[in-house]
A and B are shown apart, each in its own frame.
Chain A
Amino acid sequence: MMTSSGHLATKNTTNTAIKIDKLNKWYGDHHVLKDVSLDISEGEIMVVCGPSGSGKSTLIRSLNHLEDYQEGVVSVFGQPLSRDRQSHKIIHQTMGMVFQNFNLFPHLTVLQNCTLGLTWLRKMSERDADKMAMRLLDRVGIAQLATRYPGQLSGGQQQRVAISRSLAMEPKIMLFDEPTSALDPEMVKEVLDVMIDLAKTGMTMVCVTHEMQFAKQVADRVVFMADGEIIEVGPPEQVLVNPQWDRTKEFLQHVL
């Protein structure tokens, strides 16, 4: 089905970006992911929502191996991932991640945060890396802050830097774990605008978020999770407006 060389199986073999198959995870005896299966196609915007503790973070972090899982298979572009070097390489070449609390490197300037991966991993020359990073920073509207340190930026600006930093590595899939939850309401919009722009470029995105407006506006499908299980999957109009399960309805009444 696929070539085993370093390169990824291309679109013509499959257009599934991520295939999650019967994922199970336990913290000790605590069963946090229960037989989770999900296919995410290339270019799809997938929003994951659900109550606190339902396993959303655990699921999205399992995709790029920030968490271990005990059972199940995750495939990226048709290649099943394991714990070996090859899989790590695939993960780093295809997936970028944005965290709830930004996790910028505080000792580096905004620009250095973005060029770090380019100069050290891609072996790009400093000038090319700077040029590329400036283009990305410009795209998220903070090119003028390039020489500042993260501590001198507002939360919204920091999160936009974090997005540029991920984008600099040219991922095919972007994972967002509650990117706006640590932000003041006034700053949520500037980050969401960047994400909406990104969605329009055809990037595959998996977003854990409670911003239902965002979900309605750009999501192709919404996943509702509770207690480590996927309860509903479907287009936003279906899951968010006409949920099939009482659990979903209850949750939506709280968030909306």
Chain B
Amino acid sequence: MDDLNVKNPPTLKQFVPTPPRPPRQSKSGIFGTIRQRCFNSIGNSVLTLCVIAVLFYLVKHVLDWAVFNAVFIADNRRQCMDISPDGACWAGVISWFNGLIYGRFPVDEQWRVNVGVLLGLVWLLPLMSKRIPLRNVILLSWIGLYPFVGAYLFLGGRFGAELGWVHGVMTCLALAFLTIIYANWILSVWDKKGLNELFVPLVSRFVERRIHLLSFVAAWLLIALVMAFALNQVSLEPVAIERWGGLFLTFIIASFAITMAIPIGVVLALGRRSKLPVIHWLSMTVIELVRSVPLITVLFMAVTLLPIFLPADVEFNKLAQVLVAVCIFAGAYMAENIRGGLQAIPKGQYEAAATLGLGYLHTMALIILPQALRMMIPNIMTSFISLLKDTTLVSIIGLFDIMLMARNIANDKDWVGMHTEPLVMISVLFFLFCYSMSQYSLTLEKRLKVDR
């Protein structure tokens, strides 16, 4: 090694690197670029013109139908036809709009759906901010606590009566948690200490260890108590689950499936790789069985077969059955995605974890799964998107989701036979959701790629 460091003898020529120079800028501007790309040869020019002509023809017809010849204000389909026979009749969709979004949810109570969905989104908002510590905990709290708030709002009833005390308590805890998240966020903007820190002096008088955790719990319980008193004052009109519907129901099913898909998928995928034969075969059977059957069949089985297996006195509503079915379906597909990710992790990662002394759970949770999931983001997002679309199938077993509501429009005596417009509207809605999901997955990928 020492002989590597020999000084250069003075007779050698000295190497001076050539100074770097910037790359050539294209000066031609946007028209130049278009000319270069699209009209650089005769064949290409002809092709470009043809494409433009076809596009123009298509766009013109679509716009004519959807905008220029469309009817927005009418009382029924006949009127629409009279005003403009070859345009879209958006009046029908508009008059049924509420139904498409909320299903048969009572009109006076629809604000509760808005508030519930908004709360769910607001809960997730802090995940976008880098300021907030322990974002995983917020995500977990959303999965574990938000459903209680949502159900409380959507189902209604007096506090602790219709839904039981446990549900009431969980709702209070959930609302208190949300309050703390936001209070701490706002306080952190002003560089103040979090709400839970207020209790540190008090708590440290009684205990020595885990002061921060306990003061957090103290703050949480106190706020939950306040929430309980507040909720006790109001009583919401009960709404039966059968009245849930429209896009709202689609959202509930899809978000349930999406949040449960990863945990179920992870368990199934790890089970499939397990060395214990029972677990291995069980996971494999579930995965292969569910994957080789169409979702409709799984849904029908859930609705018809599940009650047979359950004891007779357990009343299971249709939505719960559907949720179970969709979750298992989503989980089985996700398991295969995750298995693909797991296989791509080199053996060296397991060995490095083992030599550090990490056990199975630590290795999986800290080393392997974070990498595997990250690697599979595109596939996972694709699954999520198809899940969102697949949930429209539940209309077949009689849940009033957005598809069934759309078909109801065609059965309405005022809008008999109106099929196209609602479907177009649903397509546009779904396109917006799915497209933003795939865009989000792209940004997520880009953000995480910085790490490597």
Contacts and interface: CB of A to CB of B under 8 A. Distances in A.
Interface in B1-30: 1, 4
B371 A64 contact: no
B357 A121 contact: yes
Contact of B357 (A106, A151, A169): A169
A79 B112 CA distance: 67
Contacts of B357: 92-93, 117, 121, 169
Interface stretch (A12-20, A97-105, A239-247): A97-105
Contacts of B358: 116-117, 120-121
Given A116-B356, A116-B366, A169-B356, A103 B1 contact: no
Given A105-B349, A105-B367, A107-B370, A64 B355 contact: yes
B367 to A, nearest CB: 6
A211 to B, nearest CB: 8
A210 interface: no
Given A189-B4, A192-B1, A213-B1, A103 B352 contact: yes
Interface in B363-377: 366-367, 370-371, 374
Contacts of A97: 351, 355
A96 interface: yes
A120 B362 CA distance: 8
B349 A103 contact: yes
Q: Is the interface of A mostly helix, strand, loop or mixed?
A: mixed
Contacts of B371: 105-107
A64 B374 CA distance: 30
B311 interface: no
Q: Is the interface of B mostly helix, strand, loop or mixed?
A: helix
A66 interface: yes
Interface in B341-362: 346, 348-349, 351-352, 354-358, 362
Interface string B315-327: 0000000000000
Contacts of A151: 451-452
Interface string A84-99: 0000000011011101
Name the residue among A93, A106, A169 with the largest chain B CB count within 10 angstroms.
A106
Interface in B64-92: none
A50 B356 CA distance: 27
Given A66-B355, A165-B356, A169-B357, A99 B348 contact: yes
B348 A92 contact: no
A120 B348 contact: no
A217 B156 CA distance: 79
Contacts of A162: 352
B451 A149 contact: yes
A248 interface: no
Contacts of A204: none
Contacts of B370: 107
Contacts of A117: 356-358
A66 B362 contact: no
A164 interface: no
A165 B351 CA distance: 14
Contacts of B367: 105
A33 B362 CA distance: 32
Contact of B352 (A93, A99, A189): A99
A157 interface: no
Nearest to A61: B351
A58 interface: no
A209 interface: no
Contacts of B374: 107
Contacts of B356: 92, 116-117, 121, 165-166, 169
A176 B331 CA distance: 42
A169 B358 CA distance: 11
A128 B451 CA distance: 25
A92 B371 CA distance: 24
A104 B451 contact: no
A166 B355 contact: yes
Contact of A120 (B351, B366, B452): B366
Interface in A228-254: none
Contacts of A192: 1
B370 to A, nearest CB: 5
Contacts of B354: 66
A99 B355 CA distance: 10
A25 B386 CA distance: 50
> Which 10 pairs of residues, A with B, have the shortest CB-CB distance?
A92-B357, A103-B352, A103-B348, A151-B452, A97-B355, A117-B356, A149-B451, A107-B370, A107-B371, A213-B1
Interface of A: 64, 66, 92-93, 95-97, 99, 101, 103-107, 116-117, 120-121, 149, 151, 162, 165-166, 169, 189, 192, 213
Given A95-B355, A120-B366, A151-B452, 9 more contacts: A66-B351, A97-B351, A105-B367, A107-B451, A117-B357, A120-B362, A121-B358, A149-B450, A166-B356
Interface of B: 1, 4, 346, 348-349, 351-352, 354-358, 362, 366-367, 370-371, 374, 450-452
25 contacts: A64-B355, A66-B351, A92-B355, A92-B357, A97-B351, A99-B351, A99-B352, A101-B348, A104-B352, A105-B349, A105-B367, A107-B371, A107-B452, A116-B356, A116-B358, A116-B366, A120-B362, A120-B366, A121-B356, A149-B450, A149-B451, A166-B355, A169-B357, A189-B1, A213-B1
